[in-house]
Structure 1
Amino acid sequence: MAFTSPTVAAWELGLRLRERRELMDITAASAAKAIHTGQSFVSGVETGRVKINARKLAELAAVLDFDEDEVGELQQLREAAGKRAWWSPYSAMFSAEVLRYFGFEAGAESIRAYSAGLITSLLQTEDYAMAIMNGGAPSIRLAEANRRVEVRMKRQQRLEGGDPIRLTTVIAESGLRQMVGGREVMAAQLRHLAAKIDQHPDTLDVRIVPFSADYHNAIGGSTFYILGFAGGRLPDLVWQETVSTTDLIDQPMRIREYSLAHSQAMDHALDRSESLRLIEQIGKELE
């Protein structure tokens, strides 16, 4: 079992423990009492936010009647969850929720994204990302802005390597025409976007919703990402970004609404070839 993300490993460990506990009709309080700890500890482990040591996990697994092979898998998950993540050195710069998103993104198998006014973050150039950092928070110090851009570039490594993430992103035409950073920065960004599409034909699908498209549910909405995970055991998650807030969504009904909105946006978007042609056309207009 190989894990690329401690966050996803901790999440799966917690889900498996909670599912077994609920299947056996044991309350979190009863499970906690059986291993001589508090309910908040067990609940924290089940949400992936609290670490558990090997001894306590073995005790809890015994209470929940896991067999020997399952206990071995749980211990592997625990060990994976305890590894140091690449985003750990940046933890002081971001909220706990944003850091959790980095962890889920790092361990996801696929992402379906929608972006109305900007290029999707996983496809941004450094200059484009820096323009967003400076424009979104003019008072931010240059050193911190550089570090934030560095994090964004590290996140993009999921697009590369032997096991790249599958990214399907829908971008409104306004995202191609908004002069983020100025004409030169935007022209370079569109060249970069076209190059990425050419480099990753099997794992990257970029669709543009043209101005001529009719109304769909994502119009006027916020940027969102629907994360899918390998194996079928872990459910989808949604990450939503607004002007002032970010939100990690795990409620099935809300996730379904975002999935439908993404599907509608895809239905109104140009196909892959037409999308690439429009990106290249707008890029040439800027040169």
Structure 2
Amino acid sequence: MSPASPTLAAWELGQRLKEAREDHGLTGSDAAKVVGITQNYISNVEHGRRTIAEEKLRQLASVYELPPEELDELVALRKACEGRGWWARYSGIYSAELLRFFGYEHAAEEVRTYETILVSGLLQTESYARAIHRGDGANLRMSEVERRVAVRMQRKQRLLGTDPLRATILMGETSLRQQVGGTAVLLEQLRHLLDLIDECPDNLDLRIIPFTAGSHGAMGSSTFHVLTFPSSRLSRLAWQETAVAMDLVDDQARVAQYSASFEEAMTFALDRQDTADLIRETLKS
């Protein structure tokens, strides 16, 4: 079972309230008027961006004619929303949207990641992550750099343990050669990739898309992740990163597009053994 996440609890609560509202034939504006709140409040609750007051939750459940047992489940979810995930400690250095992504990733069952130039964040060493944050042009204080590195290392813990995150990660061959932090840092990072491949054989599937691969739909796109969750009630989410913006995607048509792009890119990637062999060859070159 994936670890608990207040962020995921808020999203599940919002999704279930939205489904109940739509099943009852009400718009967000209709529901808001009945219980005396704004449509924006309803929207934020349904998208997991705000925790609803218990009184308002019970009022909505009454309007939606939900059975007592379902109300009990929703009240329990609301209670779970009040917890604090480890990522909450970093609200001073990251946006609310990125913190939400950390919360979703923490509770995900599976992540599928496409990364072209850098080593994926979940696989980075401390030195590699530090070099990225020192060189991102943001002129960060060393204390903030170290906090950001700590976040990377905390996220990475989901690959380990008794119930690890399943991760399928596609990286371009450039990521094995880009001199992030210099030669010593890169070589340490490459050795670490081989260690992770050995340590996580059942939950980490790392594939490299070689320079010799042909053109594919994801080529030229930014980094993106597709997250799947343990609960069948929850849809997949996508997260996209560019040099200047980040976007959490819950529209299922767009999520399906990201998933299709990932599947196509997979057909151009080396298999697991050839990926490990390429990393070893790169270490020697």
TM range, smaller chain: over 0.9
Aligned-pair Cα RMSD in Å: 1.5
Q: SS state of the match for residue 278, structure 2?
A: helix
Deviations for 1:4-63, whole angstroms, at most 9, x for unmatched residues? 211111001011001111111122233223323333222221111121232221221111
1:77 matches 2:68: no
Could you tell me which amino acid in structure 2 is paired with residue 284 of structure 1? Answer: K
Residue of structure 2 equivalent to 1:54:
54
Does the CA contact (< 8 Å) of 2:2 and 2:230 recur in 1? Answer: no
Deviations for 1:50-77, whole angstroms, at most 9, x for unmatched residues? 2123222122111111111111111111
Provide structure 1 residue ranges, at least 5 long, that are not aligned to the other structure. none
1:18 matches 2:26: no
Sequence identity percentage = 48
Does the CA contact (< 8 Å) of 1:3 and 1:80 recur in 2? Answer: no
Could you tell me which amino acid in structure 2 is paired with residue 237 of structure 1? Answer: L
TM-score w.r.t. the length of structure 2 is 0.96
Residue of structure 2 equivalent to 1:115:
115
Taking the aligned partners of 1:247 and 1:52, their CA distance within structure 2 comes to 24
Taking the aligned partners of 2:269 and 2:36, their CA distance within structure 1 comes to 56
Q: Which moved more, 1:54-63 or 1:143-152?
A: 54-63
Residue of structure 2 equivalent to 1:31:
31
Counterpart mapping for 1:218-233 below 5 A: 218-233=218-233
TM-score w.r.t. the length of structure 1 is 0.95
Could you tell me which amino acid in structure 2 is paired with residue 21 of structure 1? Answer: R
Taking the aligned partners of 1:3 and 1:52, their CA distance within structure 2 comes to 22
Taking the aligned partners of 2:267 and 2:126, their CA distance within structure 1 comes to 31
Residue of structure 2 equivalent to 1:149:
149
Could you tell me which amino acid in structure 1 is paired with residue 30 of structure 2? Answer: S
Q: SS state of the match for residue 178, structure 1?
A: coil
Taking the aligned partners of 1:86 and 1:37, their CA distance within structure 2 comes to 31
Q: SS state of the match for residue 232, structure 2?
A: coil
Could you tell me which amino acid in structure 2 is paired with residue 244 of structure 1? Answer: V
Provide structure 2 residue ranges, at least 5 long, that are not aligned to the other structure. none
Q: SS state of the match for residue 270, structure 2?
A: coil
